[in-house]
Chain A
Amino acid sequence: MTMNKMTHSSLQRQRGVASLLISLILLVVITFVTLYTSRSVLMEQKISTNEYRGRMAFEAAEAGIEASVSAIGGGWAMAADDTVIPADDDSYPDCLPTASYNVIFDTDGVLDADGNLNPDANTLTLANGSSVTVTMTCDVNEDLIRYDITSVGVSDDVTSRRTIEQTLVIIPPLPNVPDNPLLTRGGVVIGGSATVSNPEGHSTIWSGGDVNVGSNNATSTAIADPTDANYPDCLGGSVQCGTVPSSTKEVTGLDIIESDTSLANLSSDEFFYNFFGEEPAAYKDSRVTVETNDMASQDGVGGEIIWVNGDVNIAGNNTFGSLDKPVIIIVDGDFSGTGNNNFFGLLFIRGSITGSGGVDVVGSAVVNGVNSDGGGSLDVVYNSRVLKSTYAFGRPAAGSGSWRDF
């Protein structure tokens, strides 16, 4: 009886089998379709994620380039272990063409005792988790400094890596370095004493007007000594030549060029352009780093391009620049002083030197008007290395055409 009942009931239930089978098959098909779709969607998601990581790495690499560019604009320091450190001083690394440098970032934002950046790691991690490492090589050629920056960005999960390269050129603030210790457009009248020496060449005073060396026994010029053991390698070399006296108050040697019309015929602006490669107003606007009415306030400053407005009458003993960190001082007026003033770099006077006092220049002095030192003393020693060191605080410019990410 039990058997019978069971058979009976299963027979009755067989009526729904068709529906059940159809439903089951359809459900299985639906499952497969859904699985296939989700696989594609997952794949799409993977592609999007890859793209996102790729973009993240790219942006990190770009950030590395930007950080390096702005750091180069703000000056660098170099540590002993071939690393380049963005710092707030104005020195540039001595450029060693064969070396490759790691750029060190200030990642924790902790400043040093002087309030400068305190670099601590050569990988910079950005807020979104991506990181960047920057290396660079540097080259000095034809008086230009060039940095080749390579920035490697890595995405937060380290799956994507992009490399960007960019060249940066430092545009020198003084494209045409003067060749003479003392250059004037107007002329030279030496009332006191003057020594002008050029250990790197054979001319000392180049003037568009007359040169009157005065009557002081101490006044003399000196030129590179051709009998120097290192001659002629010492001309413009790191070790300067010895000098031999050339002109005195009695004898005017070949080293003094006077009444040169090629200078005298220039306008004041053309004379300026000749050295700086820009009109005075444009140069002042774009290149000058310090503009002041009080020259004495710049005592001890180095590595700057200083524009002094108006006539200067400076008192006391001041030193502007140093051998390693020279200055370019442009006096937009006449210059006179008392006391001793020392200059390292280029002293460019758009007016005349009128006063007395001691003026010591290592580098070059260029005077637009008349250089008459009154009763004071003027000592100029030409030094091309000092003048060329001014390149270091030139303006960095991204070399157009140098950016690549492949």
Chain B
Amino acid sequence: MLSTRRFNQHGVTLIELMVGLTVGLIVVGGVLSVYLTTVKTSGDTLKASRLNQEVSAIMNIMVNDIRRAGYANAEPSTGDYDWDDPAGTDVDDLDNFQEPSTNPFNQLGFSALEVHDNMTSDLDVGSQGSGSCILYAYDASVGDANAGDSNGDGVRIREDNEYFGFRLNGTQLQIRQSVDIAGGEAPNSCGSGSWATLNDERSIEITALNFDLGDSSCINTSEPDEVDNDSDGYPPVPLPAGMTTGDILKEMDEVDCYTTVPGVGSGVNTVERRDVRITLSARLVDDTEVQIKNMEQRVSVRNDLVRVR
């Protein structure tokens, strides 16, 4: 018994050892590679989902907020207030119908939605252009007429922190929090105001941001006015006797006030529906391979811009 035991403790042969080691290595190697693959794909998945979540959250914020541009409370609970009487001296003039062209949050060149090419050159791209900075305002506090004109911009319900905007500043996407009107800052400038960065700049960088107004439309509500504004022969001027509605309809191409721009001082009313196509590209800072290219969403601003030309 004892002798057998001792004999058995002899050790292994070289061949046995080699085979055992090889088999062991193959097994461990296989498991290791599965492990590495899992860890890597998990890492990739986590990175991608992190980027995805953050970018779509930013996109949602932009879409939901831009949609509200131009909202102005017509009837603050605290008192009578007229858009066309912004100083609020005439409190008895209770008006059921606020004249849309006097909307304090839709004044062209001040509070109305604008897209600028970028924050450094800060050029207004016009009603159908595109750029990386957007500016707008809305009555986020649902205006309190009794609050007084705190910022001295002449409108009681318009506050400093109701001028919003988004811009691309380097690799940061920023939202505007307020503009110091009393301090002389212009609301229609992408450089002015205080801005906060939306993306976590340590982990995510925004590589491209674009606001495109190309799908916007403009309607001249004064048409048909029996004047051949676009010189295409319709309608004939002066209008011959017996001209029918069908003939008048041929003037309808003049309704589009982006193609046939009404003259300054013509007094015609135009209604603009602003459509913003937002495109956003982003990537991870520490792994630039993980990226989102041209995530796109379209938002139609609900409160149209009404202007008297």
Q: Interface residues, chain A, CB within 8 Å of chain B?
A: 4, 8, 11, 15-16, 18-19, 22-23, 26-27, 29-30, 33-34, 36-37, 40-41, 44, 47, 51, 139-142, 144, 146, 167, 169, 279, 281-282, 284-285, 291, 399-406
The docked-state distance in angstroms from the alpha carbon of A29 to that of B103 is: 62
Q: Is B103 touching A400 in the complex (CB atoms < 8 A)? A: yes
Interface residues of B (CB under 8 A from A): 1, 4-5, 8, 12, 20, 23-24, 27-28, 31-32, 34-35, 38-39, 41-42, 45-46, 49, 52-53, 56, 60, 64, 67-68, 70-72, 74, 94-98, 100, 103, 105-106, 138, 140, 142, 222-226, 239, 245, 248-249, 271, 302-306
- B24 near A18 with CB under 8 A, answer yes
**Which residues of A have CB within 8 Å of B20?**
15-16
Question: Can you list 28 A-B contacts with CB-CB less than 8 angstroms, sorted by A residue number?
Answer: A4-B5, A16-B20, A16-B23, A23-B31, A26-B32, A27-B31, A33-B39, A36-B42, A37-B45, A40-B46, A41-B45, A140-B96, A141-B94, A142-B95, A146-B96, A167-B74, A281-B248, A282-B223, A282-B225, A285-B224, A285-B245, A400-B303, A401-B105, A402-B74, A402-B303, A405-B68, A406-B68, A406-B140
- Quick one: given A33-B42, A47-B53, A144-B97, are A400 and B27 in contact (CB under 8 Å)? no
Q: Which residue of chain B has the shortest Cβ distance to A8 in the bound complex?
A: B8
Residues in A whose Cβ lies below 8 Å from that of B64: 405
Bound CA–CA A47/B49 (angstroms) = 11
Which residue of chain A has its CB nearest to the CB of B222? A282
Nearest residue (CB) in A for B301 is A403
A291 / chain B contacts, CB cutoff of 8 Å:
245
CB closest residue in chain B, given A65: B302
How far is it, in angstroms, between the C-alpha of A400 and the C-alpha of B105 when the chains are bound? 11
B31 touches A22 (CB 8 A): yes
Contacts of B105 in A (CB 8 A): 401
- C-alpha gap A4/B3 in the complex (Å): 12
- A361–B39 Cα distance when bound, in Å, is 89
Q: Which residues of A contact B5 (CB under 8 A)?
A: 4
Q: How far is the CA of A169 from the CA of B42 in the complex (A)?
A: 56
**A399 close to B100 (CB less than 8 A):** yes
Partner of A279, one of B23, B27, B53, B226: B226
Minimum CB distance partner of A54 in chain B: B60
**Most chain B CB within a 10 A radius of its CB, from A36, A400, A402, A404:** A400
Extra contacts besides A19-B24, A142-B97, A404-B71 (19): CB < 8 Å: A4-B5, A15-B12, A19-B27, A22-B31, A33-B38, A37-B45, A40-B46, A41-B45, A47-B53, A144-B97, A282-B222, A282-B224, A282-B225, A285-B245, A399-B98, A400-B100, A400-B106, A400-B271, A402-B74
Q: Indicate the member of B5, B34, B42, B72 with the most A CB atoms within 10 Å.
A: B42
Closest B residue to A17 by CB, please name it: B24
Closest B residue to A402 by CB, please name it: B74
Name the residue of chain B whose CB is nearest to the CB of A142: B96
CB-CB < 8 A to A19: which residues of B? Answer: 23-24, 27-28
- What is the CB-to-nearest-CB distance from B102 to chain A, in angstroms, rounded to a whole number? 9
Picked from B31, B98, B226, B306, the residue with its CB within 8 Å of the CB of A26 is B31
Q: With a CB–CB cut-off of 8 A, which chain A residues contact B23?
A: 16, 19
Q: Is the CB of B96 within 8 A of A285?
A: no
CB-contact partner of A401 in B52, B226, B248, B303, under 8 A: B303
Which residue of chain A is the closest to B305 with respect to CB atoms?
A400
Neighbouring B residues of A169 by C-beta, 8 Å: 96-97
Q: Which 7 A-B pairs have the closest CB atoms?
A: A141-B96, A403-B302, A400-B100, A37-B42, A19-B24, A401-B103, A23-B31
Instruction: Give the distance to chain B from A2, nearest Cβ to Cβ, in Å.
Output: 12
Most buried by A among B67, B224, B302: B302
Q: For the complex formed, measure the closest distance between the CB of A304 and the CB atoms of chain B, giving whole angstroms.
A: 17
**A404 CB contacts on chain B under 8 angstroms:** 68, 71, 138, 142
Interface centre among A15, A16, A144, A404 (most CB of B within 10 A): A404
B contact residues around A11 at 8 Å (CB): 8
**Within 8 Å CB of A34, what residues of B?**
38, 42
A41 — which chain B residues lie within 8 A by C-beta? 45, 49
Query: With A and B bound together, what is the CA distance between A204 and B235 in angstroms?
Result: 40
Complex Cα–Cα for A139 and B34 (A): 71
A40 contacts B94, C-beta separation under 8 Å: no
Residue among B4, B24, B96, B303 facing the most chain A CB atoms (10 A cut-off): B96
Distance between B146 CB and nearest chain A CB, rounded to angstroms? 20
Contact B96 A144, beta carbon cutoff 8 Å: yes
> A8 CB to closest chain B CB, in angstroms?
6
